[in-house]
Structure 1
């Protein structure tokens, strides 16, 4: 027991202890009829991240998406992260002790954290497929401003509204009434346009830039 609180192992012992405490809190909250993880997600405004591809860079948002934050309740993800971090630390220090000597904690902690990430991603992905989560595919009209669309009934000009078809962030298609912006040229059927504003129930469009 004293070895677990030695300086080389203390960060990992602490992570394991915190993990056990969080598991206990979640179990007790479920017995009380209300999941602590659900309450925490609601308090954080945790509404999910769709992308789960490996991050292109080292941005925190890309990393959080990569480990499935949003597809797994935050508290569950934290418990898994602490578990894998503690396990990686114990294994790392065990190997280092067998070879030479335990690594200093400042060196072992980042190594264990990096080693735990692939396992965290795999396990959180598996958990995400098992845990039922409410998902909303509704979008507000304001969310479609800034989207690109295709003219399906045109031409769009400054007169009577025509019609465009746009795909929202969930992949659903919407048919919208639209007209050209005041300084925009007429846009024929089939033209790709950018929705830049909404006036009452009619969207305002301009020709979509070539780089969109």
Structure 2
């Protein structure tokens, strides 16, 4: 079924799902974020939603849920619905469903499903992330390493509060050669390297926090 000519849209969706997962993992390794990069292409929730396309994005919770999460939900739902439909048609009629009919049915099922899951995730995901605050404004703030060990050229994930008290997640690495940051250590962000990747040094004033 995976390579049947009639099911190619769902096979493509499955491979795109794997590709998105791979690219996001690679982006995290180099200290970037595919989700945040794509998020900047779309309007913030409640910001000038007027056109039909903007209303559709708002209906799908774009801006309230990380965009890559919604893409994954869409691709997974579309592929699973298409394959399930073809299995049912094959079981009862002995042939695969016509491609255009299967795609239309899959879209009709997928969009409300993504809307439902997105609305649920928007209520569950802590609203402590913002895409409106520049990463550059975090320079000079103190971050706490949450996972991994950071070495020069090999950043670890850390969390840092912005000027509004909202928590953001960034990637940090030592400014000086031979230094490491362990999980739980506080790091003063000294400069932005690229995107959400920063160089830093151990917080020289821990008693002030």
Q: What TM-score do the two structures reach when normalised by structure 2? A: 0.54
Q: Distance in 2 between matches of 1:14 and 1:83?
A: 11
Match of 2:8 in 1: 10
CA contact (8 A) 1:48 1:70 kept: yes
Secondary structure of the residue aligned to 2:5 is: coil
Could you tell me which runs of 5 or more consecutive residues in structure 2 were left unpaired when the two chains were aligned. Answer: 133-209
Q: Deviation digits for residues 119-177 of structure 1, max 9, x if unmatched?
A: 211222233231542176xxxxxxxxxxxxxxxxxxxxxxxxxxxxxxxxxxxxxxxxx
Rounded Cα–Cα distance in structure 2 between residues aligned with 1:49 and 1:89 = 31
Counterpart pick for 2:26 among 1, 25, 28? 28
C-alpha displacement of 1:7: 1.4
**1:93–1:103: 8 Å Cα contact kept in structure 2?**
yes
Deviation at 1:59, TM superposition (A): 3.5
Structure 2 equivalent of residue 48 of structure 1: 44
Q: Deviations over 1:37-83 (max 9, x none)?
A: 112223x1x342249xxxxxx94333222111121222221121111
Q: Is the 8 A contact 2:36 2:131 kept in 1?
A: no
Count of aligned pairs = 127
Q: How does 1:178-193 map to 2 (within 5 A)?
A: none
C-alpha change, 1:30 and 1:135, in structure 2 (3 Å) is closer
Instruction: Give the drift of 1:102.
Output: 1.6
Residues 1-212 of structure 1: pairs in structure 2 closer than 5 A: 3-42=1-40, 44=41, 46-50=42-46, 59-100=52-93, 101-128=95-122, 129-130=124-125, 132-134=128-130
Larger RCO, structures 1/2 (Cα 8 Å, 6+ apart): 2
Q: Is the 8 A contact 1:50 1:70 kept in 2?
A: no
Cα displacement string for residues 1-20 of structure 1 (whole angstroms, at most 9, x for unaligned residues): xx311112111011010011
Shift of 1:31: 2.3
CA distance in 2, matches of 1:107, 1:7: 14
Q: TM-score normalised to the size of structure 1?
A: 0.54
Provide the aligned C-alpha RMSD in A. 2.4
Tell me, which stretches of 5 or more residues in structure 1 are unaligned?
52-57, 137-212
Q: For the residues of structure 2 that align with 1:62 and 1:38, how far apart are their CA atoms?
A: 21
Structure 1 residues 37 and 135: alpha-carbon distance in aligned structure 2, compared to 1, 3 A threshold: closer
**Aligned counterparts of 1:36 and 1:135: Cα–Cα separation in 2:** 13
